[in-house]
């Protein structure tokens, strides 16, 4: 069967909402850990910035919080896809992958969470992002095949994810006074 006919416009609407929620939850995890460690941290839709210098250990913990919750959410979503054939869960898994791939791409200019942790641990900047992306990529491919989703569904999901990401990053840059 080449594709799944039950994917309609509603899927992409929910996908966009899940994408925004993923950004908010990801950054909230950074903020919660930073605040719990006693730092004054500012929260943005795509950034959390500590108000003072952090120890290496605290920097690793705060940096790990966002990706950890994003990957955990993606893996829970994978279980829901495999057990319940949930398209909504697929959206969460797909966007977790998209978010970490884009973040790794940005690491060429400014190390993302995983790359920063990987470098601080002495593993080089690409080891941890590579593992995270590989885990999410394999589970996303398995989920897509399980749901029998066509390449068109995934390309449209990519387009929606790209638009949502541009809007979220743009709003965050305006909020921080960069744009």
pLDDT given at position 2: 52
pLDDT given at position 6: 77
pLDDT given at position 1: 42
Q: How many residues does the chain have?
A: 179
Task: Tell me the C-alpha distance between 87 and 148, whole Å.
Answer: 11
pLDDT given at position 179: 83
pTM of the model: 0.94
Task: Tell me the C-alpha distance between 14 and 11, whole Å.
Answer: 5
**For every one of its 179 residues, what pLDDT tens digit does the chain have, with 9 covering 90 and above?**
455 547 999 999 999 999 999 999 999 999 999 999 999 999 999 999 999 999 999 999 999 999 999 999 999 999 999 999 999 999 999 999 999 999 999 999 999 999 999 999 999 999 999 999 999 999 999 999 999 999 999 999 999 999 999 999 999 999 999 98
For 1-27, b/e burial (b = at least 16 CB within 10 A) is eeebeebeeebbeebbebbeebbeebb
Task: Tell me the C-alpha distance between 23 and 124, whole Å.
Answer: 26
Q: Indicate the SS3 state at residue 129.
A: helix
């Amino acid at each position: 069967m080449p594709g799944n006919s039950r994917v309609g416009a509603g899927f992409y609407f929910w996908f966009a909402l899940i994408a925004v929620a993923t950004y908010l939850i990801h950054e909230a995890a950074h903020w919660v850990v930073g605040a719990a460690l006693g730092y004054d941290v500012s929260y943005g839709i795509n950034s959390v910035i500590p108000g003072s210098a952090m120890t290496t250990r605290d920097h690793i913990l705060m940096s790990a919080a966002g990706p950890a919750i994003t990957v955990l959410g993606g893996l829970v979503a994978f279980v829901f896809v495999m057990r319940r054939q949930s398209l909504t869960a697929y959206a969460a898994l797909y966007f977790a992958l998209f978010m970490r791939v884009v973040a790794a791409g940005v690491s060429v200019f400014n190390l993302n969470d995983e790359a920063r942790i990987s470098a601080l641990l002495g593993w080089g900047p690409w080891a941890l992002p590579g593992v995270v992306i590989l885990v999410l990529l394999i589970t996303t491919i398995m989920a897509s095949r399980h749901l029998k989703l066509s390449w068109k569904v995934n390309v449209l999901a990519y387009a929606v994810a790209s638009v949502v990401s541009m809007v979220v990053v743009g709003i965050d840059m305006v909020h921080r006074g960069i744009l």
